[in-house]
Chain A
Amino acid sequence: SQTIHQWPATLVQPVGSPLSLECTVEGTSNPNLYWYRQAAGRGLQLLFYSVGIGQISSEVPQNLSASRPQDRQFILSSKKLLLSDSGFYLCAWSVTRSVGEKLFFGSGTQLSVL
């Protein structure tokens, strides 16, 4: 069966520090991969998605970036965190080009930037 791992579960970082969140998927190949952010009172916002290795689409301009070095690995990064980067970050995957898209989510990372 397929599983998705996301870590760390919680993270407290000072403003201006770098960020690296990692997500891996097991039990499937060539998934679509996604990073979402859930900010307080603002719902769920798509940040990046990837349909293949090295293929990254950005939905919202910001100081975050994403990379997909391997088929089932998706990394969210920042060189310098801002206060506004605080939020709950969710990694997700879906079957490539499935009709009626269904996402499978990781357990999330609660990021607090202080």
Chain B
Amino acid sequence: GDSVTQMEGPVTLSEEAFLTINCTYTATGYPSLFWYVQYPGEGLQLLLKATKADDKGSNKGFEATYRKETTSFHLEKGSVQVSDSAVYFCALSDRSGGSNYKLTFGKGTLLTVNP
């Protein structure tokens, strides 16, 4: 079945540091890939997505590139801020077999950015 493996946290960085959160996936078809973010006390919200190989999703200074050859979708940001402190979830939606109704999530990575 489909699965998402993401970097175990927690990750603690200083403000303006470079961020990478690794994510790899296993899917039977041609998935779309997502990063969701959950700020403290809130539900999840979509951060960025990519729907095919070599696509780059970007939003709020975050980027992730869909790498089919390495089955990866690593999240990066060049300079993090305190307000980026949150839990980040990698997810995939696999369109094969008519299963495009649902997302498979990774376990989440807690990021704490200190001033």
Residues of B contacting A42 in the complex (Cβ-Cβ under 8 angstroms): 107
Residues of A contacting B89 in the complex (Cβ-Cβ under 8 angstroms): 43-44
Q: Are A90 and B44 neighbours in the complex by a CB distance under 8 Å?
A: yes
Is there a chain B Cβ closer than 8 Å to A51's Cβ?
A: yes
Question: In chain B, residues 62-115, which have Cβ atoms closer than 8 Å to a Cβ of chain A?
Answer: 89, 93, 95, 100-108
Is there a chain A Cβ closer than 8 Å to B58's Cβ?
A: no
Q: Which residue of B lies closest to A98 (CB)?
A: B100
Question: In chain A, residues 24-73, which have Cβ atoms closer than 8 Å to a Cβ of chain B?
Answer: 32, 34, 36, 38, 41-46, 49, 51, 59
Q: Are B102 and A100 neighbours in the complex by a CB distance under 8 Å?
A: no
Q: Which residue of B lies closest to A41 (CB)?
A: B107
Name B45's contact: one of A32, A34, A100, A105 (CB within 8 Å). Answer: A105
Q: Which secondary structure characterizes the binding site on chain A?
A: strand
Q: Are A43 and B107 neighbours in the complex by a CB distance under 8 Å?
A: yes
Q: Are B103 and A101 neighbours in the complex by a CB distance under 8 Å?
A: yes
Given A99-B32, A100-B32, check contact A44 B42 (CB 8 Å).
no
Residues of B contacting A41 in the complex (Cβ-Cβ under 8 angstroms): 107
Residues of B contacting A108 in the complex (Cβ-Cβ under 8 angstroms): 42-43
